[in-house]
A and B are shown apart, each in its own frame.
Chain A
């Protein structure tokens, strides 16, 4: 952002430096004539940055700006093109804006790759008529009244951007013709968000469309290169939210990204590239981004962890949490730094969360239920490990135990179910699930032990068979010797 500001300042300064050209422009016959007839375009052009740079109308429209003879000035021989149409509009801008030399000539240091970015962007695709791009430069920047982007009058000034984008993106009829599945309520949602409300109040700092989607090189959300592709969203948000200096005036923490990166969700999304893992917008919303309230946290988490949320809602904890105004999921699992929910969270050990409220002397029932639940799930885990060890031993001995191995998945499933069932905080229901897993592990242990027994049985069987065959071979050998001796 600071780079853009510097560039804009430079342009403004360059405008002043080129004041000689401005004087020249006074001699611009196109402008003189059109202004004299009260042309709106000429009136707008007065405020245009290009006007200040001494750029004549003829730069885009062609013709001879030095001639006061209309027929001569606007003749084909003088190169008059009239009003550029379709891609000609962008071509007229690109003539200078894609040329670093030309930009240098005007003392501007703004980038010259906008056109390349636009061509590759979603807006660079062909429009319905098939002859031009969907978006031309003037779609966002206007035609004759172009001002610096730092100028609050610019349609691409931060506080104006939502409205500029919304011109098309909030128009259902227009958007339907390009992408019927794309929502058109982004602007109205945005206006309800913290970002949108501050933006509407004239604060240019909060995120608007361009902050997240980019400007000239906007890519579809499904494109992995897009700044709003799921794996890129945290970095995009953190661009502002991890900038302590930038966020200073808003008095909110700036460690969310650092915490999120270490969380189970962050690791899944950023390290394992699992796009089903939640990014910032999954919990906070995107266009209507806002921190979820205490009462809605379980609904937000429950949009993925549906069963856990449902069990919690019907558990006795729901009422207690509501009374104490505790954020539901967050109280035990934290928010941005959600780590993998291991069994350690359950029970009454120092790192468990239950005993934070259920103290032995103050809430003995909850204390003992938590203790028992932990004991049960530990038993299941240990039984599962023992069963796994047994079948691994059998497997190492070359036994076929694929079925037992497959069966053991049911025990793992039961353990996962039990972890979910914890959220019911109902000991009987929890034990029912754990017992299901324990039955599986017992069956697998028997199969594993049988396979190991079979292994030794095979060896004993082999020993007996080899002894018998060898004995037979010995008898045969002695018989052969006898008949061969006889023959001699």
Chain B
């Protein structure tokens, strides 16, 4: 058996020079320090993305993206397709854990200031992928075409409509018309399975190539250490194998969640019924949704909701551009303000999400 694998490797190596790649990876080292655990969340996010792609393709075999058939096709997947329930439940759970993992990955990079020069592009591509994850979540939520998803999309797109100038046209573009209907479903289905994955794959490729090209960022205090004092581990095979171990544990978690808490389907969307009481968006939008509730109806001449949306937009842009305005970290100096800002953001998200969940 060993001979077979060696022969296979040699056969491939002869044609694509695998040795060069193995040597390249063997030279790469991952810093080892008390915050090393956060490095694994990039890999976990990638794993969730792969699961999403695989389960998404399997769901596509049976899903029908029209308002007449969407709900019934998901019902068919859940009840009749062999392991359809498992595929859909894993897709749903993995989507949530993907976003959670991306959140953790983003904040760990932020607090480590790993975005500092020369990794600005890595950060920007990562942030863009984070926004796309939210887009994946929003577009995928409508696809089962059930009551909850229908009205959540209605509320979500209504909020988009409150953005000054571009809000209304953007809302109509997302909805494919004035109201949420079959056109919205077709549109979001297209975004979810074609447009977003295409853009995401390009961003992911750039992100991964940059990580391989620039290596994994060292924490700021490593700069003060002698090379002999710096603890590291080889990227291949040690770090990759540890990543793989974590993926297996995550796979176990996904299986348990999918079996014990299979994805719910609810009732088919009825555009003529009234919205269910206390309708809320998915947990990752909850902090924004809850925050908007606290804005007064009017702030000076503008509507409170509009001001809130603009503030979130401004905060998102500032966050996206942090490598370009945090010059201190780029110079290798300590920047406490960044830490306090990050802590505020984390606390804000946790508290507002909790309040939103309880309301």
Contact = CB atoms under 8 A, between A and B. Distances in A.
Contacts of A466: 252, 255-256
B78 interface: yes
B252 A476 contact: no
Interface string B68-104: 0000000100110000011000000000000000000
A420 B249 CA distance: 61
Interface string B231-252: 0011001100110110011011
A393 B237 CA distance: 49
A487 B26 CA distance: 13
B46 to A, nearest CB: 18
A456 to B, nearest CB: 11
A462 B259 contact: yes
Contacts of B244: 476
Interface string A441-481: 00000000000000000110110011001101100110110
A398 B262 contact: yes
B261 interface: yes
Interface residues of B, number: 23
A470 B252 contact: yes
B193 interface: no
B259 A459 contact: yes
B216 interface: no
A245 interface: no
B265 interface: yes
Given A398-B261, A400-B78, A480 B256 contact: no
A477 B242 CA distance: 8
Contact of A480 (B242, B249, B252): B242
Nearest to B71: A402
Q: How large is the interface on A (under 10, 10 to 19, 20 to 34, 35 or more residues)?
A: 20 to 34
A477 B256 contact: no
A484 interface: yes
B255 A480 contact: no
A403 interface: yes
Contacts, number: 53
A149 interface: no
Interface in A390-417: 398, 400-403
Nearest to B75: A402
A46 B234 CA distance: 124
B256 A462 contact: yes
B151 to A, nearest CB: 20
A459 B245 CA distance: 23
Residue in B248, B249, B261, B262 with the greatest tally of chain A CB atoms within 10 Å: B248
Nearest to B239: A480
A400 B251 contact: no
Contacts of A469: 248, 251-252, 255
B238 A400 contact: no
Contacts of B234: 487
Contacts of A473: 245, 248-249, 252
Contacts of A480: 238, 241-242, 245
A483 interface: yes
Nearest to B86: A458
A462 B241 contact: no
A150 B190 CA distance: 80
Interface in B252-277: 252, 255-256, 259, 261-262, 265
Contacts of B238: 480, 483-484, 487
7 contacts: A398-B262, A400-B265, A469-B248, A469-B251, A473-B249, A476-B244, A487-B238
Interface of A: 398, 400-403, 458-459, 461-462, 465-466, 469-470, 472-473, 476-477, 479-480, 483-484, 487
Interface of B: 75, 78-79, 85-86, 233-234, 237-238, 241-242, 244-245, 248-249, 251-252, 255-256, 259, 261-262, 265
Given A400-B265, A402-B75, A461-B259, 11 more contacts: A400-B78, A400-B79, A462-B255, A462-B256, A466-B252, A469-B252, A473-B245, A476-B244, A479-B241, A480-B245, A484-B238
Q: 10 shortest A-B CB distances, which residue pairs?
A: A400-B78, A400-B79, A473-B248, A462-B259, A476-B245, A469-B252, A398-B262, A480-B241, A458-B259, A466-B252
